[in-house]
Amino acid sequence: MKHWQETGQIVERLVRLARDGRRGALATVTRIVGSAYRRPGAKLLIEEGGAVHGGVSGGCLEEDVRQTGLRVLESGLTRLRHYATGDDEDTVWGLGLGCNGEVDVVIQAIGPDSSAAWTQVGGLLQGDAPFALAYPLEEGARGTVTVVGESGRRAGHADAAIETAAHEALRARRPGWTRAGERTVFVEVLTPPPRLLVCGAGDDARPLSALAAAAGFRVAVADHRPAYLTAERFPDARTLLPIRPTDEAALPADRETFAVVMTHSLERDTEWVRRLLATEAPYVGMLGPRARTDGILEKLGAVGSARVFGPVGLDLGADGPEQVAISIVAELLSVWSGRELRHLRSREAAVHAER
């Protein structure tokens, strides 16, 4: 889910470098086996001065990737790196990590002459449609990318076999290594992350908005009070909606929208829940004690609704707005990913194994 947001931040920086006549080396995770901190598609941008943005691991691989990226900037040629993070002291540049996983990374140079496709990617990341990026995995080649939307190629390297492979991966929502004629390519499928609609712009909504945005949600905050609903109070929110629950204004509440109702007004909470239950939103969280939630649902004739999570959040023993926000976002991630709530130490499979 974070790849959409992180890719946007890195692409924005990459395009800015190109406008200034500068280059960057873009490292992208293309495959993992066993335990790994990041999934395929995670990115690290290396600038000519050595500054980095993003990440391809939990910090254990970044320095080697950075050094490789600097060499890529000198040569202009793509490098493929394979890391086996086992116990062998010589496996990963002299560091025994003991993580028992394998990570493949492609690192390519991107400059002013090859940035047009990434400018297009930046525009697509502002929209709501999925798309795919295809990278040929060719050691020593010039870095290229093919950008494919649901209607076909949008930008980048024109190769019919790569375009077909990318379109098939996009249609199946199945990223990974694949064959495109005689070439091996990595296809990254980027799908818009879910929205979080926060109904209420009180002080306790601020950490929820910030934490949910940091986790990758596209956050919208709705409130009719202009003094509360400001960009200064909610700098991480993508959208501010100056509306009441009874207004007829359009509401972002489809199957990809999660909602949390927290106006601290019984009347307004009731109206927000009424409106949200009339949409396709799969998750309606309600702040407040169980008796209050039950009373609202009874009034609305919605007792037992599986979409209502009230009291909202996981039972973490949270105290205060920040901890409550953590418990809510943790529950949102669990529901979105379809994961059973449990400690990671009880999970036998790798954390990022296919569900």
Series of mean pLDDT values for 10-residue runs along the chain (355 residues): 89 93 95 83 95 89 94 96 68 50 92 89 92 95 92 84 95 95 95 96 98 96 97 96 92 91 96 96 95 96 94 92 96 91 68 51
Tell me the domain boundaries of the chain.
2-190, 195-337
Rounded to 5°, the CA angle 135-141-146 comes to: 25
pLDDT on residue 348: 67
- Please give the C-alpha separations between residue 133 and each of 175, 254, 273, in angstroms, as whole numbers: 9, 26, 39
pLDDT on residue 88: 53
- Spatial separation of the C-alpha atoms in residues 57 and 178, rounded to whole Å: 23
pLDDT on residue 38: 84
DSSP per-residue letters across 201-256: -STTHHHHHHHHHHHT-EEEEE-S-TTTS-TTT-TT-SEEE---TT--S----STT
The answer to whether 66 touches 85, Cβ cutoff 8 Å, is no
pLDDT on residue 93: 45
pLDDT on residue 355: 45
Total residues found in the chain within this entry: 355
Residue 65 has φ and ψ, to the nearest 5°, of: -65, -40
Q: What is the number of H-type helices and E-type strands within the chain?
A: 8, 16
Superfamily holding 195-337: NAD(P)-binding Rossmann-like Domain (3.40.50.720)
pLDDT on residue 86: 63
